[in-house]
Structure 1
Amino acid sequence: MARSVHCESEVEESESLRSDANIAGPMTDPVPGPRVETVGADVSRETPPPMDDTPIAHTAHLGVQALGRAGEGLPRPEQTRVMVVANQKGGVGKTTTTVNLAASLALHGNRVLVIDLDPQGNASTALGIDHHAEVPSIYDVLVDSRPLSEVVQPVPDVEGLFCAPATIDLAGAEIELVSLVARESRLERAIKSYEQPLDYVLIDCPPSLGLLTVNALVAGAEVLIPIQCEYYALEGLGQLLRNVELVRGHLNPALHVSTILLTMYDGRTRLASQVAEEVRGHFGKEVLRTSIPRSVRISEAPSYGQTVLTYDPGSSGALSYFEAAREIALRGVGIHYEAQHNQLAAPNEQQNMAEGMQ
């Protein structure tokens, strides 16, 4: 049974919504559009504010606008974009980013598949997908060569969004894959044999660089790296980039880092701004203009089996993910073109980034 959209509002969230510079860093206005303010000379200081300026009404208004914008649609890619969401550091927002970007793209009219490669199954939980031990899962696809179509489930709250869940069995897959033939490319073969049309495949990787992550890197063409705006944000990314280069060189020549997303941004702190500046200095144009703020709503949504887009579409987190998805979709028009024409230059650029973070 589909869940109703949760639209309760708290003062804390509403205050963060009114502080545009704080909610998403470079995204200066959560809902673009002209703002008209008139101040009359005869207005008393005791004049009560309009009803639509109350925190609850303000949040509800943003929610309506967000859902309205979701219906506008975005350009669909010419071919399926397989994006690997990876970072071996835990707690940087990989799963949160995967499910909310997937929901945003689906709400914009795309067909999106989320593949949960993390044995914890958090992406499956956030999408409201049952993933107990007896459920057919991505483990069966990787280890037993089960067709992907037999494990994919539709997400109840979002039309056009699907999920291949993870179960606890996936925890032993790293060891079981070692002895299997073509162990690094089993996920790639499963995706290629999936017959249903898809615009995006988003793969949520575990916080490690083992065989599960390698399978994802072989299957995908693009790597999306979430980076939290906190101390030591870039620590360990050099190893991830070196692994991307190894996979590119030996297993998947099309692989490249296409997107960097800043998460947990708090515009009230100088540290967040410094980290954002450092990340943009390292990665340049790969960094999305939109960043994701710290948000109570983003943290609460998984406990209801929902993404923040359906839990509270007017929250700062939902608006930011809407904008990030829009930016990714619009960038996609030129991503494949650049990958083809810069194939020789890209390895050198990313190798320089890896050496700079050693």
Structure 2
Amino acid sequence: MKTWVVANQKGGVGKTTVAVTLGGWLVDKGKRVLLVDMDPQCSLSAYFGFEPDRIEASVYDLFTHPDRDPSEVVVASNIDGIDVLPATPAMATLDRQLGQRQGQGLVLSRALRQLAEGYSHALVDCSPSLGVLMVNALAAADRVLVPTQTEYMALKGLERMLRTLTMINRSRSTRLPCLIIPTMFDRRTRASVGALEELRQQHGDELWREVIPVDTQFREASRNGLPLPQHLPQSRGAQAFRQLLSELLAAEAAGHDEEAA
């Protein structure tokens, strides 16, 4: 199982949309996918109709009950091939509860190893805050996807996220692959076009060459509790994500070839 972590230290840039939509296209290709909600705001869990205050077990239990079998926390979504490790608001208290306790940075990694045989990919939707939840997600990652809204305030959050990745990479034997994904792009606005140009100038090597456009169908898909590929696969937004997934899988395959060599 490969783990793709969707992270940015700014909210509202499309992290949940990226995780859910890529998951939808992976399922369309016959893969089994685990979506992991590591955000106390519980947006991913709510997307699939789970009520955070009524969930019997969540990611929170993996931290507070280390011996808990993670398969007991996984719940099936309404889409065949997609399961969810849900979140609850109580996860916001984990930094305070756990403090500096040793061994808390690998909780998610251990859980995903136990679940690995059942899935081709895990997609992790992160909280925008740098704390024990994001550290766990990055420690488990094979690749980091950084959605960045094409507007100037979002670029500041991107810089914080890249500094965090630099810090994480210092503790790793190999560099963690990162791809910046321009989201909510509206070619009709000067601000969006200007922000994209700045991204290309400053982060060309790590920037996806295409964009995720503004598309009202993302909102409609969310309202129906469906990934966009299952809601309206021919929409502009869905097709942009289809291309993104194709390039991610190609990079993944190339990585396997390099390892084999």
- Tell whether the structures are fold-level matches, with TM greater than 0.5: yes
In structure 2, the gaps of 5 or more residues are: none
- The partner residue of 2:76 within 154, 157, 161 is 154
State the partner residue of 2:48: 127
Are residue 171 (structure 1) and residue 112 (structure 2) matched?
no
- Measured against aligned partners, the alpha-carbon deviations of 1:248-282 in whole angstroms (never above 9, x if no partner) come to 223x4345243111100111123322222221233
Q: C-alpha root-mean-square deviation of aligned residues, in Å? A: 2.3
- The partner residue of 2:253 within 330, 333, 337 is 333
Contact 2:148 2:158 (C-alpha < 8 Å) held by counterparts: no
- The partner residue of 1:298 within 215, 218, 221 is 218
State the partner residue of 1:208: 129
Q: Distance in 2 between matches of 1:151 and 1:318?
A: 30
State the partner residue of 1:310: 230
Q: Distance in 2 between matches of 1:260 and 1:272?
A: 16
Per the alignment, do residues 333 and 196 of structure 1 end up closer, same or farther by CA in structure 2, a change over 3 Å counting? closer
> How high is the sequence identity, in percent, across the aligned residues?
36
Are residue 258 (structure 1) and residue 178 (structure 2) matched?
yes
Q: Which amino acid aligns with 1:102?
A: G
Q: Paired residues, what number?
A: 260
Q: Distance in 2 between matches of 1:107 and 1:330?
A: 16
Contact 1:221 1:255 (C-alpha < 8 Å) held by counterparts: no
Q: TM-score, normalised by structure 2?
A: 0.90
Kindly state the Cα deviation for residue 340 of structure 1 after the two structures are TM-superposed: 11
- Measured against aligned partners, the alpha-carbon deviations of 1:107-164 in whole angstroms (never above 9, x if no partner) come to 112221111001111111223345434421111112212222111122212x221110
Q: Distance in 2 between matches of 1:315 and 1:268?
A: 18
State the partner residue of 1:224: 145
State the partner residue of 1:138: 59
Q: Distance in 1 between matches of 2:254 and 2:227?
A: 28
Q: TM-score, normalised by structure 1?
A: 0.67
Contact 1:244 1:255 (C-alpha < 8 Å) held by counterparts: no
Contact 2:126 2:133 (C-alpha < 8 Å) held by counterparts: yes
Q: Distance in 1 between matches of 2:32 and 2:173?
A: 26
Return 123-132 or 141-150, whichever deviates more.
Answer: 123-132
Give runs of aligned pairs for residues 57-96 of structure 1, distance below 5 A: 80-96=1-17
Are residue 277 (structure 1) and residue 174 (structure 2) matched?
no
Q: Secondary structure at the match of 2:118?
A: coil
State the partner residue of 2:165: 244
Q: Distance in 2 between matches of 1:131 and 1:147?
A: 20
In structure 1, the gaps of 5 or more residues are: 1-79, 342-358
Contact 2:32 2:121 (C-alpha < 8 Å) held by counterparts: yes
Contact 2:10 2:154 (C-alpha < 8 Å) held by counterparts: no
- Measured against aligned partners, the alpha-carbon deviations of 1:215-268 in whole angstroms (never above 9, x if no partner) come to 111111211100111123321323322222222223x43452431111001111
State the partner residue of 2:38: 117
Give runs of aligned pairs for residues 16-27 of structure 1, distance below 5 A: none
Contact 1:297 1:312 (C-alpha < 8 Å) held by counterparts: yes
Q: Distance in 2 between matches of 1:195 and 1:229?
A: 34
Kindly state the Cα deviation for residue 194 of structure 1 after the two structures are TM-superposed: 2.0
Contact 2:14 2:147 (C-alpha < 8 Å) held by counterparts: yes
Kindly state the Cα deviation for residue 302 of structure 1 after the two structures are TM-superposed: 1.9
Are residue 322 (structure 1) and residue 242 (structure 2) matched?
yes
Contact 2:34 2:121 (C-alpha < 8 Å) held by counterparts: yes
Q: Secondary structure at the match of 1:314?
A: coil
